[in-house]
């Protein structure tokens, strides 16, 4: 199993509420519609909230400003992703990217693939 994590920042003209509403109500159904085509086994949205807790943690640790959310997507394997070269997958990926440009500050939203190592749970 391989996991894609995206730390999301909203476009400057959007409030956090508008960003999260669009992400949950518009983008999430689009991801769900394309999940099988793209080989997405699981998709989770983590919406930033709890501002007082976040401010306290940030003041004790430092670091960058909080993200507006984190998206997590699981795939079978790197090999399975590489093998998914269908025209349908390319079209689905392009449609998701075009939608992301409507609400995500892509230049300031890092992403990476990794492997989970569960310690508790």
- Mean pLDDT for 42-61 is 78
CATH number of 2-114: 3.30.70.100
Q: Give the mean pLDDT of 50-65.
A: 68
Spans of all domains in the chain: 2-114
Q: What average pLDDT does the segment 46-60 reach? A: 73
User: Distances in Å between the alpha carbon of 46 and those of 3, 29, 92, 109?
Assistant: 15, 15, 23, 14
pLDDT at 63 over 70: no
- Predicted pLDDT at 53: 67
| pLDDT of 3 over the 80 cut | yes
Q: What predicted TM-score, i.e. pTM, was given to this entire model?
A: 0.88
Tokens in use for 9?
């920042």
């Amino acid at each position: 199993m391989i996991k894609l994590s995206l730390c999301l920042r909203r476009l400057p003209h959007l409030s956090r509420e508008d960003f999260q509403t669009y992400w949950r109500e518009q983008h999430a159904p689009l991801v769900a519609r394309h999940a099988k085509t793209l080989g997405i086994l699981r998709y989770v949205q983590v919406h930033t909230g709890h501002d007082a807790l976040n401010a306290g943690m940030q003041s004790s640790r430092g670091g960058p400003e909080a993200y507006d959310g984190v998206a997590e997507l699981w795939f079978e394997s790197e090999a399975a992703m590489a093998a998914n070269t269908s025209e349908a997958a390319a079209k689905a990926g392009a449609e998701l990217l075009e939608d992301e440009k409507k609400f995500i500050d892509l230049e300031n939203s890092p992403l990476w693939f990794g492997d989970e190592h569960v310690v508790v749970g």
